[in-house]
């Protein structure tokens, strides 16, 4: 019996452009000898396919089972067409605003032909864009093969690897819409680009030494001379080799070199040189904040840090984030200046061909190319202007960076990857929501700024922007917003921001909304944190959880600083059920810069004497102590704070670890590091008491008895590490007990954890383990950071669901 022939149209949505998806479809069609075509569209990929029904089903199954490594399918809509029908309108029903005249102008009837057709654009449509990804094994093999025409070429790539998000200016993802538009392909590259059986078929950054970008090395550059342009050379490969040799020489000489990468500039130096790393810190204004280190391979990483199988998997992943690892204490080459008094070291592996050529046997510091608190540098011109005071030399190239994208950072808690900074390798992949939201902009918070745009059921998170504390970061924010709005065709109808009136991000949101006459929704900080977890796990907007949010600061609905919160929350509303007893903090938010003053404020609130044996008291001179005492007694410029982050700061100072930090959360991080070194059987036993206020229907976590005992132990010269571990255990025990009591009265058994304090590995592992033993279902962050970088997602979920709930 003759096979039953059918013709199907497939509308494919997801990450399906620039990732080798069309040649993959072509190969499947050839395997089963099917007729038809495949085409990029603004909304994704359109496939029309014709052949025996059984073969079509096998084709469709293989479409899911054998995806190219960078592709991701969000939805495949199938329409069965008549065999004699003309091709139908390529605009899916989910995109009603697309141009109805955009129709393919040919028919598909030839049973032996399958074609890859030119891209097609339709106004208003969008598709997902692939992040930048690490160099694949096939390209690495060619990179180090002397017989290959791309031998040691720093820009080798294919459809399975290389830059994507940072070079794309608009969709569809075709070369004219990327920063590679200025590099016409040579005949050999064009042949690869046009061959659907080649892995470089329609690889938009495809290039070689003959026709592509080049690198060059510059000493003592001058923006007015020719150092910004590629030097004249008859053969580009030796030019690149000379640049790499000069870079390696500079590393041996202890110099700092500004290196233009995929998503911006890095500052690089020899990580084994005390002199070079100390100079880097001094010039960059880095203080004691840890520096990221790039090492050659996984074996090298294991020489400098303890690497679990899960951590190894993340280090070697195509995202290649910086991974925060436990350092080895002895026998490493790393300078002592790389990370001070920190229980973690940030290591990453090379992720671009240039890195593979630069990183030899010795480790290199690779830190963001900027002055501290400024956005990273993007262009050669900016680098010469802004980085000349920091760098001794420059390694430049002439492939433009359209979108700045800093390195991502991750850590592993238990066996789960927790994002600390979500940027290169992850942005701008969307987060899928459990419901459709109106198009909106959520601007995030002030520190670790990100924003997000929503469309349909997707949230498009921006790359890391930085701390919104200066005009340069605002400009970077606006540039990134313009880029994402254009890529994903989003015109916000609503704006969401933090409740804090003085955040610069709040003022940006107010200006944006006012200029466009859009409604502005102010979302309480900790509600947004919990809502971000709910959005990640796709909980329905009306599903309540016990939300535990621990961070440094967040503006409360009562005008005080919150940060040690237990909420009964869903996406639309929350109720504050428990919190740390508030403490009047002198200077409010500014107290984060002076933990010793915070410690003295806690002592005052607890009625404990400022005895000179306590390190916090000893650090404060007599005159400052008298003024502070008077300020606390009169409540002058004091803001009540129920912040877990401030409690961590106070304890860190009280036991002599950190009095004046040089970077955010340093005091708390050093407290965790001390606890990790403690012998468990020597940990002190502390308890945070829980006081139920029946009149207010809340619980107060009373930290005063703990503080009294802790001060007593400090004066008895108990080791700081034993005190630190005992403190962590007390916080974990109290957290679990409060959750048990809330569950008893509410019947809820799901707990969501969020806030920057939950980047503390020791605390988070303890709490999640105890909660699981107690029968709770625990939700933690896996797609966006628990710190304020994930806040925009929660703001969007809250504001969007509130907007759709209104009549």
pLDDT, one tens digit per residue, over 380-408 is 999 999 999 999 999 999 999 999 999 99
Q: Which range has the worst mean pLDDT, 138-152, 458-472, 511-525, 606-620? A: 458-472
**pLDDT value of residue 40:** 85
Average pLDDT over residues 406-425: 96
The SS3 call for residue 381 is: helix
First to last CA, the chain: 59
| Of 124, 16, 91, 40, residue with least CA distance to 439 | 124
Tokens found for residue 357: 């050529």
Residue 659: phi and psi, rounded to 5, are -105, -40
Tokens found for residue 738: 């409060």
**pLDDT value of residue 389:** 93
Strands 409-413 and 322-327: parallel
The SS3 call for residue 162 is: strand
**pLDDT value of residue 89:** 43
Is residue 462 a contact partner of residue 427, using CB atoms and an 8 Å limit?
Answer: yes
Strands 393-397 and 257-260: parallel
* SS3 track for 285-331: CCCCCCCCEECCCHHHHHHHEECCHHHHHHHCCCCCCEEEEEECCCC
Other Cβ atoms less than 10 A from the Cβ of 310: the count is 14
**pLDDT value of residue 111:** 36
Q: pLDDT of 89-104, one tens digit each?
A: 434 433 323 333 333 3
What element of type H or E holds 498? strand 495-498
Residue 457: phi and psi, rounded to 5, are -100, 15
**pLDDT value of residue 419:** 97
pLDDT at 670 over 90: yes
Phi-psi region of 51 (alpha: psi -120 to 50; beta: other; left: phi over 0): left
Q: Give the bridge partners for 562, in sequence order.
A: 554, 642
Is residue 743 a contact partner of residue 777, using CB atoms and an 8 Å limit?
Answer: no
pLDDT at 807 over 70: no
Strands 114-120 and 265-270: unpaired
CA 383 to centroid of chain Cα atoms: 24
Q: Which range has the worst mean pLDDT, 229-238, 363-372, 458-467, 786-795? A: 229-238
Q: Is 80 exposed, middle or buried (0-12, 13-18, 19+ CB in 10 A)?
A: exposed
The strand order across the sheet containing 72-81 reads 72-81, 5-15, 44-52, 35-41, 114-120
| Of 480, 481, 411, 473, residue with least CA distance to 447 | 473
Residue 751: phi and psi, rounded to 5, are -120, 130
DSSP-assigned letter for residue 136? P
Q: What is the average pLDDT score of the chain?
A: 90
Tokens found for residue 775: 């029968």
Instruction: Please provide the DSSP assignment of 593-658 as one string.
Output: G-HHHHHHHHHHHHT----TTSHHHHHS-HHHHHHHHHHHHHTTTEEEEEEHHHHHHHHHHHTTS-
* Rounded distance between C-alpha atoms, residue 128 and residue 42, angstroms: 10
Instruction: Please provide the DSSP assignment of 732-777 as one string.
Output: HHHHHHHHHHHHHHH---EEEEESGGGG-HHHHHHHHHHHHHTT-E
Tokens found for residue 571: 């996406």
* Rounded distance between C-alpha atoms, residue 37 and residue 684, angstroms: 70
pLDDT at 131 over 80: yes
* Rounded distance between C-alpha atoms, residue 268 and residue 279, angstroms: 11
Q: pLDDT of 158-217, one tens digit each?
A: 999 999 999 999 877 889 999 999 999 999 999 999 998 899 988 999 999 999 999 999
pLDDT at 30 over 80: yes
Q: Give the bridge partners for 15, in sequence order.
A: 72
* Rounded distance between C-alpha atoms, residue 645 and residue 271, angstroms: 31
The SS3 call for residue 265 is: strand
**pLDDT value of residue 545:** 98
Residues in the chain: 807
Instruction: Please provide the DSSP assignment of 174-222 as one string.
Output: -GGGBTTTTSPPPHHHHHHHH-TTSTTTT-TT---TTTS--EEEEES--
Average pLDDT over residues 465-489: 92
Name the one residue in this structure whose structure tokens are 């262009």: 379
Average pLDDT over residues 726-730: 97
* Rounded distance between C-alpha atoms, residue 509 and residue 452, angstroms: 12
Upstream peptide bond of 428 is cis (omega within 30 degrees of 0):
yes
Q: Which range has the worst mean pLDDT, 116-120, 285-289, 650-654, 800-804? A: 116-120
**pLDDT value of residue 226:** 52
pLDDT at 373 over 60: yes
Q: Give the bridge partners for 115, in sequence order.
A: 37
* Rounded distance between C-alpha atoms, residue 441 and residue 455, angstroms: 10
Q: pLDDT of 552-562, one tens digit each?
A: 999 999 999 99
Average pLDDT over residues 637-646: 94
**pLDDT value of residue 764:** 97
pLDDT at 518 over 50: yes
pLDDT at 110 over 70: no
**pLDDT value of residue 43:** 81
**pLDDT value of residue 94:** 34
Average pLDDT over residues 630-634: 93
Average pLDDT over residues 17-44: 88
Q: Which range has the worst mean pLDDT, 42-56, 343-357, 702-716, 725-739? A: 42-56
* Rounded distance between C-alpha atoms, residue 422 and residue 405, angstroms: 10
**pLDDT value of residue 234:** 43
**pLDDT value of residue 18:** 76
């Amino acid at each position: 019996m003759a096979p039953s022939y059918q013709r199907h149209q497939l509308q494919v949505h997801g990450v399906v452009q620039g990732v080798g998806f069309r040649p993959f479809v072509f190969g499947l069609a050839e395997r089963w000898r099917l007729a038809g075509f495949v085409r990029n569209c603004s909304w994704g990929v359109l496939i029309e396919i014709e052949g025996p029904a059984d073969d079509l089903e096998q084709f469709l199954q293989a479409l899911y089972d054998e995806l190219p490594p960078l592709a991701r399918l969000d939805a495949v809509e199938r329409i069965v067409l008549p065999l004699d029908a003309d091709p139908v309108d390529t605009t899916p029903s989910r995109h009603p605003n697309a141009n109805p005249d955009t129709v393919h102008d040919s028919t598909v009837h030839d049973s032996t032909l399958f074609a890859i057709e030119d891209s097609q654009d339709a106004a208003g449509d969008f598709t997902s864009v692939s992040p930048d990804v690490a160099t694949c094994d096939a390209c690495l093999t060619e990179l180090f093969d002397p017989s290959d025409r791309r031998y040691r070429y720093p820009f080798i790539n294919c459809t399975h690897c290389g830059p994507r998000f940072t070079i794309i200016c608009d969709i569809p993802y075709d070369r004219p819409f990327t920063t590679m538009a200025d590099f016409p392909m040579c005949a050999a590259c064009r042949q690869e680009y046009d061959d659907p059986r080649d892995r470089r078929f329609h690889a938009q950054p495809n290039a070689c030494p003959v026709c592509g970008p080049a690198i060059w090395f510059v000493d003592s550059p001058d923006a007015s001379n020719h150092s910004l342009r590629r030097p004249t050379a008859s053969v580009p490969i030796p030019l690149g080799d000379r640049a790499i040799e000069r870079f390696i020489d500079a590393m041996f000489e202890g110099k700092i070199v500004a290196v233009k990468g995929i998503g911006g500039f890095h500052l690089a130096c020899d990580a084994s040189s005390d002199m070079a790393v100390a100079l880097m810190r001094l010039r960059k204004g880095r203080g004691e904040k840890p520096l990221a280190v790039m090492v050659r391979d996984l074996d090298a990483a294991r020489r400098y840090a303890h690497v679990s199988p899960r951590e190894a998997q993340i280090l070697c992943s195509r995202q290649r984030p910086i991974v925060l690892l436990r350092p080895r204490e002895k026998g490493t080459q790393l300078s002592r200046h790389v990370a001070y008094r920190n229980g973690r070291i940030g290591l990453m592996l090379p992720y671009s061909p240039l890195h593979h050529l630069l990183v030899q046997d010795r480790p290199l510091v690779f830190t963001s190319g900027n002055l501290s608190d400024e956005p990273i540098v993007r262009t050669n011109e900016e680098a010469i202007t802004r980085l000349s005071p920091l760098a001794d030399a420059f390694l430049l190239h002439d492939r433009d960076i359209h979108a700045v994208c800093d390195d991502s950072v991750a850590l592993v808690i238990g066996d789960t990857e927790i994002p600390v900074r979500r940027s290169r390798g992850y942005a701008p992949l969307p987060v899928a929501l459990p419901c459709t939201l109106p198009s909106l902009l959520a601007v995030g918070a002030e520190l670790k700024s990100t924003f997000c745009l929503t469309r349909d059921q997707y949230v498009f998170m921006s790359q890391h922007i930085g701390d919104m504390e200066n005009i340069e970061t605002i400009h970077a924010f606006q540039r990134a917003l313009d880029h994402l709005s254009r890529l994903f065709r989003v015109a916000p109808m609503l704006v969401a921001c933090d409740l804090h009136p003085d955040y610069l991000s709040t003022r940006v949101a107010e200006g944006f909304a006012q200029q466009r006459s859009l409604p502005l929704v102010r979302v309480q900080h900790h509600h947004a944190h919990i809502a971000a977890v709910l959005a990640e796990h796709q909980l329905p907007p009306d599903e309540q959880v016990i939300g535990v949010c621990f961070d440094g600061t967040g503006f409360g609905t009562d005008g005080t600083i919150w940060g040690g919160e237990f909420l009964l929350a869903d996406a639309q509303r929350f109720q504050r059920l428990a919190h740390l007893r508030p403490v009047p903090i002198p200077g409010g938010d500014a107290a984060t810069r002076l933990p010793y003053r915070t410690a003295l404020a806690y002592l005052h609130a607890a009625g404990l004497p400022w005895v000179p044996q306590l390190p916090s008291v000893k650090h404060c001179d007599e005159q400052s102590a008298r003024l502070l005492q008077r300020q606390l007694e009169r409540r002058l410029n004091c803001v009540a704070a129920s912040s877990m982050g401030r409690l961590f700061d106070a304890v860190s100072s009280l036991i002599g670890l950190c009095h004046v930090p040089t970077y955010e959360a340093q005091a708390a991080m050093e407290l965790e590091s001390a606890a990790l070194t403690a012998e468990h059987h020597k940990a002190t036993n502390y308890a945070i008491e829980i006081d139920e206020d029946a009149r207010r229907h809340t619980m107060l976590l009373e930290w005063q008895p703990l503080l009294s005992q802790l001060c007593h132990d400090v004066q008895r010269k108990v080791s700081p590490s034993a005190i630190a571990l005992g403190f962590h255990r007390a916080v974990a025990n109290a957290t679990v007990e409060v959750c048990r009591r809330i569950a008893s009265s509410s019947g809820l058994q799901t707990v969501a954890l969020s806030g920057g304090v939950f980047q503390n590995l020791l605390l988070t592992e303890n709490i999640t383990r105890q909660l699981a033993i107690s029968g709770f279902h625990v939700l933690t962050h896996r797609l966006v950071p628990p710190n304020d970088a994930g806040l925009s997602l929660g703001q969007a979920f809250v504001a969007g669901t509130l907007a759709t709930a209104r009549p």
